[in-house]
């Protein structure tokens, strides 16, 4: 404590040496009282005779050093007996609650694109399977054309079994549509075993002179969830026919009439004879 004439004009903390200015006429508020140092936080008693009772003090100051109402002006000291402590807890949501809200919002945001993307991805996968299915039929068509070219009359094989036995280079996987649940044929489970063939042969009785509208092979509607079918034509090209066209084409073939205008053989049998007895294939 610095002593001057009259009332002291400053108070010094004995712990850290922090000095506080005392305005004229304010000494009586602190003499003989204990105050808390704003620098080191230690409490110390102000030396000197006790003065008159101090005026009512403002509420305790917590968590800062700025002068509060009732304190001396800037540069002064806090009222005697009022110390500083940890800042008050802020009212509001806890960190865990905020984190839960953020996570929930992220789940909602991510779920919306997923609901849009999943159907699109499913359609893309099915489109890729259709392309692979068409490639399989092209391989079968090429093998059938190669077979026909070795025959004197240019006839296509009368069945898939005949095509396989001829030794034409053909991957067994070509007989299975990737959209179906069928398995590729093996040495012990050939295409004559159910579940190892995805296509229907319709080339019995046709030759390599048949036009591009004559169906050589096709697939059932169930392969692509009734959306349509891939169709192999006698010239080797493949087209995807929508449901309506596919139903009509299959109906014609199963009734003995080819979409190209000639009579089609029933599956597994030779070319049927028309009612008028004409056995030509260009009727």
Contact 281, 206 (CB under 8 A): yes
pLDDT in tens, 17-69: 888 777 767 777 777 777 888 888 888 887 765 444 444 444 444 444 444 44
Report the C-alpha gap between 118 and 105 in whole angstroms. 20
Report the C-alpha gap between 26 and 17 in whole angstroms. 21
Report the C-alpha gap between 182 and 55 in whole angstroms. 97
pLDDT in tens, 145-190: 999 999 999 999 999 999 998 888 888 899 999 998 888 888 777 8
How do beta strands 215-218 and 10-12 pair?
Answer: unpaired
Tell me the domain boundaries of the chain.
11-91, 96-254
Long-range contacts of residues 263-266, Cβ cutoff 8 Å, at least 24 apart: 264/202, 264/205, 264/215, 265/202, 265/204, 265/205
Report the C-alpha gap between 144 and 146 in whole angstroms. 5
Could you tell me the pLDDT band of residue 198, with boundaries at 50, 70 and 90? very high
Residue 251 has pLDDT above 50, yes or no: yes
Pick 92 or 236 by higher pLDDT: 236
Q: Would you state the pLDDT for residue 63?
A: 43
Q: Specify the pTM.
A: 0.53
């Amino acid at each position: 404590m610095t002593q001057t004439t009259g009332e002291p004009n400053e108070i010094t903390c004995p712990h850290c040496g922090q000095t506080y200015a005392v305005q004229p006429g304010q000494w009586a508020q602190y003499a003989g009282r204990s105050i808390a140092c704003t620098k080191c936080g230690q409490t110390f008693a102000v030396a000197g005779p006790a003065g008159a009772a101090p005026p009512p003090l403002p509420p305790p100051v917590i968590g800062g050093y700025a002068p509060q109402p009732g304190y001396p002006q800037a540069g002064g000291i806090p009222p005697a007996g009022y110390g500083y402590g940890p800042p008050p807890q802020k009212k509001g949501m806890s960190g865990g609650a905020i984190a839960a809200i953020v996570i929930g919002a992220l789940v909602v945001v991510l779920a919306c694109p997923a609901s849009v993307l999943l159907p699109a991805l499913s359609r893309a996968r099915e489109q890729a399977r259709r392309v692979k299915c068409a490639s399989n039929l092209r391989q079968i068509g090429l093998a059938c054309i190669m077979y026909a070219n070795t025959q004197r009359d240019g006839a296509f094989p009368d069945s898939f079994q005949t095509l396989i036995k001829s030794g034409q280079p053909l991957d067994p996987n070509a007989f299975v549509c990737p959209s179906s649940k069928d398995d590729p044929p093996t040495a012990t489970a050939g295409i004559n075993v159910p579940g190892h063939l995805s296509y229907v042969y319709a080339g019995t009785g046709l030759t390599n002179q048949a036009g591009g509208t004559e169906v050589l092979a096709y697939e059932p509607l169930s392969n692509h969830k009734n959306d349509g079918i891939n169709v192999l034509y006698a010239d080797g090209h493949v087209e995807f026919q929508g449901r309506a066209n596919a139903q009509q084409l299959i109906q014609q073939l199963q009734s003995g009439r080819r979409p190209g205008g000639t009579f089609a053989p029933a599956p597994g049998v030779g070319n049927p004879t028309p009612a008028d007895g004409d056995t030509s294939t260009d009727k």
